[in-house]
């Protein structure tokens, strides 16, 4: 197969951590051609999506007792070539958020791939529809008490009712801008004014879950099916559990409650074309649905002796086979 990955600059990726690298590595090992581009390399010509592509060979990481170890030069690139993306068997949108204008324009370009010819993961429309904070709100039996608002008075009332809450900007990533709000905080008004740009931009407020001290679980779903999980623990002096905020990771298992949540999500995710998804769960409550470039499979593989990159590419192989057969 010929597989195209739309990623951030490859030299900035961490082969021992980044899920995109794990996927590309697995594809190379399975004998497929792997090509890469960035959002700036996308175009529409004659109503068809094109890209400046480079073929890449990934040198596999080595798992040691101390963790993953990568070669000094862990990838090899060909020269750039302009190709119609419909010459690829599959295209993967794996650029990190934020979902800003540049990101959205890239998804509009990807709409001009004939998906009866080329598999696109995740669906461009699905990504646009699924704000990673707002998307969870439809699963009312799975989420903690939540509001979304720019109204300072409504936000204060929610925090006073709950005693404490977590404020989340709707468009950020990796824990950026997430704040703990206490009703007695003397900076309360200033925090809300700064976060909402003085009442112009809505934010999400979720009741604070004390179970967050035991970790924030990332569960990876492949076509609606949970395939692995890891627990993220906050760094000393930090309430956020995100790895990007200095959090550590630990082995974990998927509970029956968490499997129920996955079952609730699966039909909606599949209908939206959201194939590779990472959900965040704290204390048995769904807090976010990550659809842009969810990560975590390197860590899951290390703890669980799995190979989720290989599992994903094998799913892609079967999906493309079915596409060719018109199924």
**Which pLDDT score is estimated for 174?**
63
Q: Quick: pLDDT tens for 148-169.
A: 999 999 999 999 999 999 999 9
Residue 313 CB: number of other CB atoms within 10 A? 24
Q: How far apart are CA 74 and CA 157, in angstroms?
A: 53
Q: Quick: pLDDT tens for 277-305.
A: 999 999 999 999 999 999 999 999 999 99
Task: Assess whether pLDDT exceeds 90 at residue 58.
Answer: yes
Query: Catalytic residue numbers?
Result: 133, 168, 218, 232, 240, 280, 288, 290
Q: 212 and 239 in contact (C-beta within 8 Å)?
A: yes
- Pick the more confident residue, 176 or 274: 274
Lowest-pLDDT range, 77-81, 136-140, 172-176, 218-222? 172-176
Q: Quick: pLDDT tens for 234-257.
A: 776 655 555 555 678 999 999 999
**Which pLDDT score is estimated for 234?**
79
Nearest to 258, CA basis, from 239, 242, 278 = 278
**Which pLDDT score is estimated for 327?**
72
Mean pLDDT across the chain, nearest whole number?
94
Task: Assess whether pLDDT exceeds 80 at residue 118.
Answer: yes
Nearest to 21, CA basis, from 31, 33, 34 = 34
- Retrieve residue 213's tokens: 């001290």
R_g (Cα) of the chain, nearest Å: 20
* Residues 179-189, mean pLDDT to the nearest whole number: 91
């Amino acid at each position: 197969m010929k597989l195209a990955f739309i990623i951030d600059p490859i030299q900035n990726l961490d082969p021992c951590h980044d899920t995109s690298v794990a996927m590309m590595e697995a594809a190379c090992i399975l004998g497929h051609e792997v090509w890469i581009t960035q959002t700036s390399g996308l175009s529409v010509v004659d109503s068809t999506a094109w890209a400046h592509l480079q073929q890449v060979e990934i040198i596999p990481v080595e798992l040691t007792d101390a963790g993953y170890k990568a070669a000094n030069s862990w990838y090899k690139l060909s020269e750039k070539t302009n190709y119609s993306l419909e010459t690829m068997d599959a295209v993967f949108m794996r650029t990190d958020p934020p979902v800003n204008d540049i990101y959205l324009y890239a998804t509009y370009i990807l709409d001009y791939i004939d998906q009866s010819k080329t598999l696109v993961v995740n669906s461009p429309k699905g990504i646009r529809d699924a704000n990673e904070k707002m998307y969870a709100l439809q699963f009312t039996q799975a989420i903690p008490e939540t509001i979304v608002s720019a109204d300072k008075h409504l936000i204060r009332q929610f925090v006073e009712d709950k005693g404490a809450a977590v404020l989340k900007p709707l468009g950020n990533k990796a824990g950026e801008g997430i704040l703990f709000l206490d009703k007695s905080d003397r900076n309360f008004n200033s925090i809300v004014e700064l976060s909402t740009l003085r009442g112009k931009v809505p934010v999400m407020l979720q009741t604070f879950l004390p179970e967050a001290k035991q970790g924030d679980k990332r569960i990876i779903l492949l076509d609606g099916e949970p395939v692995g999980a890891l627990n993220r623990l906050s760094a000393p002096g930090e309430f956020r559990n995100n790895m990007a905020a200095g959090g550590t990771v630990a082995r974990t298992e998927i509970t029956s409650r968490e499997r129920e949540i996955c079952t609730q999500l699966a039909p909606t995710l599949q209908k939206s074309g959201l194939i590779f998804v990472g959900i965040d769960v704290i204390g048995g409550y769904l807090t976010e649905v990550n659809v842009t470039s969810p990560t975590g499979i390197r860590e899951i593989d290390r703890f669980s002796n799995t190979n989720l990159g290989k599992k994903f590419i094998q799913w892609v192989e079967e999906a493309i086979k079915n596409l060719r057969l018109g199924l």
